[in-house]
């Protein structure tokens, strides 16, 4: 009797994210230079930014406010006493040769955030709580441009732009509570939603104002000890986060199963063009940075009074809004996620239903036709001329049967571009829906008389032609015939 093959080991990933978010302050963290994105290279600099001898940094008060508000929104404990530290950083993009950051006494610790994983097909929602280890303030580095290559290797020369050096950052470090690429991408998206709702950062990954590093290891399921950690640097899209993690899970699992490749603690980069991670360097530890307290900046103390004031200014956050939309408005989990993803969209939706327009109908218009227009024209909700009051009026006209849904859709492009009162336009153009059975019956009789061949085919069994007749009736009525009544009367007459 042959021995049974040993059971195959099941592995799981242990994933943590470090998210760097630029704060939307007018000036940099320690200097009065502009923090605006997109200026000509090396125009937003000053002696402090470029590390001239004898200069002294001064903390931007707005940076502290934004960091505390972000910490509160992420359910962190705000430190009544924290400090800045020097992180030795020998690289051309920080000319001081050190970065001012926070090490052992950060501004916020021990937080958490809930993520939601929605299955579009079934509508089911899986919720998971992800711990947040810490949130701290620091300055950003400059930007290096390597000529002839996307990386240093193979480039003929490099250029540096110090405009970004000194732009304020918060770094948000998660607990290793994530297990899949999908969870990690959703966590990063939820953090961005929070940052945007607060107004402390724009979260534009394409501009580098939100960047993500991934820490990932693999271990057999059931084992407590972590595997060897690998870091993947500078993910700049949610899709890249998920793909890079999925690839690394597969790579590390194959390495453990085959024994052909040793997993080492290292930093890797995601190559979007060929969808793989590549080794970059061995991973530094905190000892390599040789932290010590920043001597030019005093410690930070946040009073209880100040903390309560900042807490009182927090808006309703995405998770709270989603929960309210489900419980109070009766919307599905999928609808609530779409409507609350952007605060300005959520505000527009809420202002529209405040007019008395039916909730689900408004949701469908905002998520469907209006969202489609915004995407196609690359606009935001604030760019359109159709006000929430106007959309509410349009929806109420349809709900009351004054106009058909088709007439509403026909009016929408003009309303989005020019605004105005839907009711006034309907009255001016004579677009009121025809709901008189006799008037619709007369149009149907005309259509049937004008299309005898199609009528004969229908009565011979080709019932799909009813749609043809509906279209003809709508065409002859200028889209004004009541669709429901039209179908009812057509059915009777065609089968008569």
> Which pLDDT value is given to residue 386?
97
pLDDT at position 455? 79
Report whether 4 contacts 45 (CB < 8 A).
Answer: no
pLDDT digits (tens, 9 = 90+) for 360-410: 999 999 999 999 999 999 999 999 999 999 999 999 999 988 888 888 999
Q: Which of 386, 293, 363, 339 is nearest to 83 (CA)?
A: 293
Burial, 252: exposed, middle or buried (Cβ in 10 Å; 0-12, 13-18, 19+)? buried
Quick: pLDDT tens for 197-218: 999 999 999 888 999 999 999 9
Q: What is the mean pLDDT of the chain?
A: 90
What's phi and psi for 269, nearest 5 deg? Answer: -115, 150
Do 383 and 407 meet the contact criterion of CB atoms below 8 Å apart?
Answer: no
Q: Return d(Cα 203, Cα 71) in angstroms, integer.
A: 16
Q: Residue 13 in 3-state DSSP?
A: strand
Q: Say if residue 6's pLDDT is above 60.
A: no
Strand 230-235 relative to strand 210-220, pairing: antiparallel
d(CA 42, CA 95) in angstroms, rounded, equals 13
pLDDT at 231 (0 to 100): 94
Query: What distances in angstroms separate CA 208 from CA 21, 237, 379, one per listed residue?
Result: 9, 10, 20
Assign residue 356 a region: left if phi > 0, alpha if psi is -120 to 50, beta otherwise?
A: left
- Is 246 or 124 the better-scoring residue by pLDDT? 246
> What pLDDT score was predicted for residue 7?
60
pLDDT of residue 235: 82
Q: How is residue 207 annotated by DSSP?
A: G
Instruction: Provide the pLDDT for residue 153.
Output: 62
The pLDDT value recorded for residue 2 is 55
DSSP state letter for 369: I
Could you tell me what percent of the chain has a pLDDT over 70? 96
pLDDT one-digit tens code per residue, 459-491 = 877 888 888 888 887 787 777 777 777 888 877
Give the lowest-confidence range in 31-40, 93-102, 260-269. Answer: 260-269
Q: In sequence order, what are the residues at sequence separation of 6 or more whose Cβ sits closer than 8 angstroms to the Cβ of residue 302?
A: 64, 68, 78, 79, 80, 107
Neighbours of 254 (CB within 10 A): 12
pTM, rounded to two decimals = 0.86
Closest CA to 66 of 74, 58, 55: 74
Instruction: Please tell me the predicted confidence (pLDDT) of residue 435.
Output: 73
Q: Are 111 and 317 in contact (CB under 8 A)?
A: no
Q: Which helix (H) or strand (E) holds 312?
A: helix 304-312
Is residue 60 pLDDT above 90, yes or no?
Answer: yes
């Amino acid at each position: 009797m042959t021995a049974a093959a040993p059971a195959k080991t099941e592995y799981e990933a242990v994933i943590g994210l470090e998210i760097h978010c630029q704060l939307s302050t007018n000036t940099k963290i320690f200097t009065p230079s502009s923090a605006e994105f997109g200026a000509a290279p090396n125009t937003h600099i000053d002696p402090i930014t470029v590390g001239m001898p004898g200069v002294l940094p001064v903390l931007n008060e707005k940076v502290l406010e934004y960091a505390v508000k972000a910490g509160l929104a992420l359910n962190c404990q705000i430190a009544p006493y924290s400090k800045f530290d020097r992180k030795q950083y020998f690289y051309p993009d920080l000319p001081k040769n050190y970065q001012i950051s926070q090490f052992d006494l950060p501004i916020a610790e021990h937080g958490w955030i809930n993520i939601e994983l929605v299955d579009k097909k079934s509508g089911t929602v899986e919720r998971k709580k992800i711990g947040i280890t810490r949130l701290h303030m620091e300055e950003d580095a400059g930007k290096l441009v390597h000529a002839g290559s996307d990386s240093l290797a193979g480039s003929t020369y490099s250029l540096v732009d110090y405009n970004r050096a000194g732009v304020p950052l918060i770094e948000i470090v998660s607990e290793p509570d994530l297990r899949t690429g999908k969870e990690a991408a959703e966590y990063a998206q939820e953090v961005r939603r929070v940052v945007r709702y607060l107004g402390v950062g724009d979260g534009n990954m394409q501009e580098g104002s939100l960047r993500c590093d991934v820490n990932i290891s693999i271990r057999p399921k059931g084992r407590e000890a972590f595997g060897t950690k690998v870091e993947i640097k500078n993910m700049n899209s949610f899709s890249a986060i998920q793909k890079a993690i999925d690839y690394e899970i597969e790579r590390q699992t194959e390495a453990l199963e085959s024994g052909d490749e040793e997993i080492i603690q290292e930093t890797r980069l995601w190559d979007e063009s060929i969808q793989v991670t590549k080794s970059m360097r061995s991973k530094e530890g905190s000892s390599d940075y040789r932290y010590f307290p920043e001597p030019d900046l005093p410690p930070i103390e946040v009073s209880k009074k100040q903390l309560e004031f900042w807490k009182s200014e927090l808006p309703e956050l995405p998770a709270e809004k989603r929960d309210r939309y489900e419980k109070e408005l009766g919307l599905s989990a999928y609808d609530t996620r779409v409507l609350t993803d952007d605060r300005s969209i959520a505000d527009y939706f809420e202002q529209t239903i405040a007019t008395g327009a039916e909730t689900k109908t408004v949701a469908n218009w905002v998520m469907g036709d209006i969202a489609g227009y915004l995407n196609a024209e690359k606009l935001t909700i604030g760019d359109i001329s159709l006000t929430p009051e106007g959309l509410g009026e349009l929806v109420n006209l349809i709900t009351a049967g004054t106009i058909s849904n088709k007439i509403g859709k026909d009016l929408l492009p003009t309303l989005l571009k020019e605004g105005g009162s839907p009711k006034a336009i309907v009255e001016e153009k004579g677009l009121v829906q025809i709901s008189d059975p006799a008037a619709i019956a007369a149009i149907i009789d005309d259509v049937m008389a004008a299309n005898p061949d199609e009528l004969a085919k229908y009565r011979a069994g080709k019932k799909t032609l009813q749609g043809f007749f509906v279209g003809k009736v709508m065409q002859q009525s200028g889209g004004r015939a009541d669709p429901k009544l039209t179908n009812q009367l057509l059915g009777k007459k065609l089968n008569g």
